[in-house]
């Protein structure tokens, strides 16, 4: 984590945010223990109000315990994001125009789109609940390259080094998107790629993204809408309407107007292929819908 990037964006106490009736947010101060060049490797963030301390480990500030992936899962995701598997997908996504201010990448995974956004934004912040993914993303930023092991046939695998070179105006944060450590209306653009079908409360998550986005800002959503058993899909899917169509109505205020979403749809694309490569001869293929919208 670059100290300069942390200073520019500011992270705020999530404990005070949940308990203070006045919705006052307190900016955290950084206490580094170990550094590597300009990167903070370990230390803590401290709240001046309640005294809460949030650890920094392996270059990642941590507001939650987070989850961990197996080495196989991590390498599959690194391959899918930094390898050549999804070139068409990334060309479609990264071709989407964005404002030049700070950008929030919600559910950033191993950080590919966070880095891509940073090339157009003043600063990009990647948030995820997966500790393994974020540590890998932070390591890519420090090392300036992406390395992963690619499965070849059934048993053997090989080391792959991606030519991807990450920008430095990026910070990764382990946090709950339902309770993110940011001030309201901080970001000029927000993305959530293949996320809303993977969070416990999709509507609340969208609400928090909306709160973090400035009026006139851009929202970029993509999803294959492949719901897990632990997440209810009722709020996004009815017998009469597909989830993609419902999200369009939700953002424009035509569905659930009490949510307060007010967006102008700029573009939408259906059926973009996303591949999660298990090995050379096997892949999971998803059909992804993409929405770009402007907050009114």
| Residue-wise pLDDT tens digits, 227-253 | 876 676 666 766 677 889 999 999 999
The number of residues making up the chain comes to 296
pLDDT for the residue 97: 54
pLDDT for residue 23 is more than 70: no
What is the tally of structural domains in the chain? 1
Backbone angles phi, psi at 196, to 5 degrees: -70, -15
pLDDT for residue 20 is more than 60: no
Of 20 and 219, the structure prediction assigns the larger pLDDT to 219
Contacts of 232 (CB under 8 A, 6+ apart): none
pLDDT for the residue 160: 72
Give the whole-angstrom CA distance, residue 74 versus residue 136: 8
On whether residue 25 sits in a domain, the answer given is: no
pLDDT for residue 168 is more than 70: yes
Residue 282 domain boundaries: 58-295
On whether residue 12 sits in a domain, the answer given is: no
pLDDT for the residue 233: 62
Tokens 């309201």 belong to 184
Summarize pLDDT for 108-164 with one digit per residue, the tens: 999 999 998 998 899 999 999 999 999 999 999 998 888 888 766 655 566 777 777
pLDDT for the residue 266: 95
On whether residue 34 sits in a domain, the answer given is: no
On whether residue 9 sits in a domain, the answer given is: no
On whether residue 117 sits in a domain, the answer given is: yes
Summarize pLDDT for 48-61 with one digit per residue, the tens: 999 999 999 999 99
Q: What is the CATH number of the domain that holds 187?
A: 3.40.50.150
On whether residue 165 sits in a domain, the answer given is: yes
Give the whole-angstrom CA distance, residue 6 versus residue 45: 11
pLDDT for residue 26 is more than 90: yes
On whether residue 286 sits in a domain, the answer given is: yes
pLDDT mean over 217-226: 94
Contacts of 106 (CB under 8 A, 6+ apart): 127, 177, 180, 190, 191, 192, 195, 205, 209
CB atoms near residue 17 (< 10 Å): 17
On whether residue 24 sits in a domain, the answer given is: no
Tell me which of 150-159, 177-186, 190-199, 271-280 is least confident.
Answer: 150-159
């Amino acid at each position: 984590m670059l100290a300069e990037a942390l200073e520019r964006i500011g992270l705020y106490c999530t404990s005070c945010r949940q308990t203070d009736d006045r919705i006052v947010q307190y900016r955290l101060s950084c206490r580094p223990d170990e550094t590597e060049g300009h990167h903070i490797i370990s230390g803590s963030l401290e709240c001046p109000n309640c005294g809460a301390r949030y650890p920094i480990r392996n270059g990642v500030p941590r507001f939650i315990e987070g989850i961990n992936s197996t080495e196989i899962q991590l390498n599959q995701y690194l391959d899918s994001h930094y390898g050549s598997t999804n070139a068409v997908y990334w060309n479609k996504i990264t071709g989407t125009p964005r404002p030049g201010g700070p950008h929030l990448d919600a559910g950033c995974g191993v950080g590919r789109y966070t880095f891509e956004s940073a090339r157009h934004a003043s600063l990009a912040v990647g948030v995820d609940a997966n500790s393994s993914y974020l540590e890998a993303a932070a390591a890519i930023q420090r090392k300036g390259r992406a390395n992963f092991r690619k499965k070849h046939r059934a048993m053997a695998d090989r080391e792959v080094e991606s030519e991807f070179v990450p920008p430095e105006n990026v910070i990764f944060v382990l946090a709950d998107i339902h309770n993110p450590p940011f001030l309201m209306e901080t970001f000029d653009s927000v993305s959530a790629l293949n996320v809303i079908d993977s969070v416990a409360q999709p509507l609340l998550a969208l609400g928090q993204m909306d709160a973090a986005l400035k009026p006139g800002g851009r929202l970029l959503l993509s999803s294959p809408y492949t719901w897990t058993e632990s997440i209810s899909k009722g709020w996004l899917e009815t017998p009469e309407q597909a989830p993609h169509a419902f999200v369009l109505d939700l953002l424009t205020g035509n569905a659930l107007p009490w949510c307060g979403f007010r967006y102008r749809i700029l573009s939408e694309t259906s059926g973009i292929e996303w591949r999660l490569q298990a090995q050379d001869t096997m892949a999971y293929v998803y059909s992804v819908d993409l929405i770009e919208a402007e907050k009114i």
